[in-house]
Protein backbone atom coordinates (compact mmCIF):
# COMPACT_ATOMS: atom_id res chain seq x y z
CA UNK A 1 0.00 0.00 0.00
CA UNK A 2 1.29 3.45 -0.94
CA UNK A 3 1.77 6.06 1.85
CA UNK A 4 -0.42 8.50 -0.07
CA UNK A 5 -3.48 6.22 -0.13
CA UNK A 6 -6.51 7.88 1.42
CA UNK A 7 -7.64 6.56 4.79
CA UNK A 8 -10.59 7.41 7.01
CA UNK A 9 -9.89 8.83 10.45
CA UNK A 10 -11.83 7.74 13.53
CA UNK A 11 -12.15 9.79 16.71
CA UNK A 12 -12.81 8.15 20.07
CA UNK A 13 -14.98 10.85 21.60
CA UNK A 14 -14.67 9.28 25.06
CA UNK A 15 -10.88 9.71 24.93
CA UNK A 16 -10.64 13.12 23.20
CA UNK A 17 -9.77 15.97 25.56
CA UNK A 18 -10.30 18.76 23.01
CA UNK A 19 -6.78 20.15 22.84
CA UNK A 20 -7.31 20.95 19.14
CA UNK A 21 -3.98 19.76 17.78
CA UNK A 22 -5.84 17.85 15.06
CA UNK A 23 -7.76 20.97 14.03
CA UNK A 24 -4.54 22.97 13.86
CA UNK A 25 -2.90 20.33 11.66
CA UNK A 26 -5.87 19.55 9.40
CA UNK A 27 -8.59 22.24 9.69
CA UNK A 28 -10.43 20.87 6.66
CA UNK A 29 -10.87 17.49 8.37
CA UNK A 30 -11.25 18.25 12.11
CA UNK A 31 -12.95 20.84 14.25
CA UNK A 32 -13.49 21.18 17.96
CA UNK A 33 -17.21 21.32 18.69
CA UNK A 34 -18.10 24.48 20.63
CA UNK A 35 -20.70 22.69 22.75
CA UNK A 36 -18.96 19.41 23.60
CA UNK A 37 -15.35 20.60 23.48
CA UNK A 38 -14.28 17.47 21.61
CA UNK A 39 -13.06 16.90 18.08
CA UNK A 40 -15.36 15.93 15.27
CA UNK A 41 -14.81 15.15 11.62
CA UNK A 42 -15.61 17.60 8.86
CA UNK A 43 -16.74 16.02 5.61
CA UNK A 44 -15.78 12.42 5.00
CA UNK A 45 -12.80 12.46 7.38
CA UNK A 46 -10.37 11.15 4.77
CA UNK A 47 -6.70 12.06 4.51
CA UNK A 48 -3.63 10.72 2.75
CA UNK A 49 -2.14 8.04 5.01
CA UNK A 50 1.03 10.02 5.77
CA UNK A 51 -0.90 13.12 6.90
CA UNK A 52 -3.33 11.00 8.90
CA UNK A 53 -0.42 9.38 10.71
CA UNK A 54 0.99 12.79 11.67
CA UNK A 55 -2.37 13.82 13.19
CA UNK A 56 -2.62 10.48 15.02
CA UNK A 57 0.92 10.76 16.37
CA UNK A 58 0.41 14.34 17.60
CA UNK A 59 -2.90 13.74 19.37
CA UNK A 60 -2.06 14.12 23.08
CA UNK A 61 -4.91 11.87 24.23
CA UNK A 62 -4.45 9.23 21.50
CA UNK A 63 -8.09 9.63 20.47
CA UNK A 64 -7.39 9.34 16.72
CA UNK A 65 -6.95 6.20 14.66
CA UNK A 66 -7.28 4.95 11.12
CA UNK A 67 -10.72 3.42 10.66
CA UNK A 68 -10.06 1.30 7.59
Q: What is the CATH number of the domain that holds 23?
A: 3.30.70.20
The C-alpha atoms of residue 27 and residue 40 are separated, in whole angstroms, by 11
Q: Which ranges constitute the DSSP H helices of the chain? A: 21-25, 49-58
Residue 1 lies in a domain: no
The C-alpha atoms of residue 52 and residue 65 are separated, in whole angstroms, by 8
- pLDDT-based confidence at 2, cuts 50/70/90? low
Rg (CA), the chain: 11
Each residue of 3-52: pLDDT tens digit?
569 999 999 999 999 999 999 999 999 999 999 999 999 999 999 999 99
Burial (0-12, 13-18, 19+ Cβ within 10 Å), 16: buried
Name the residue range of residue 55's domain. 6-66
Residue 31 lies in a domain: yes
Count the domains in the chain. Answer: 1
Residue 40 lies in a domain: yes
Q: What is the pTM of this model?
A: 0.89
Amino acid sequence: MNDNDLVTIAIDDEVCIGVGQCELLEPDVFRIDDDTGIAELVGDGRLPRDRAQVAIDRCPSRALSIAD
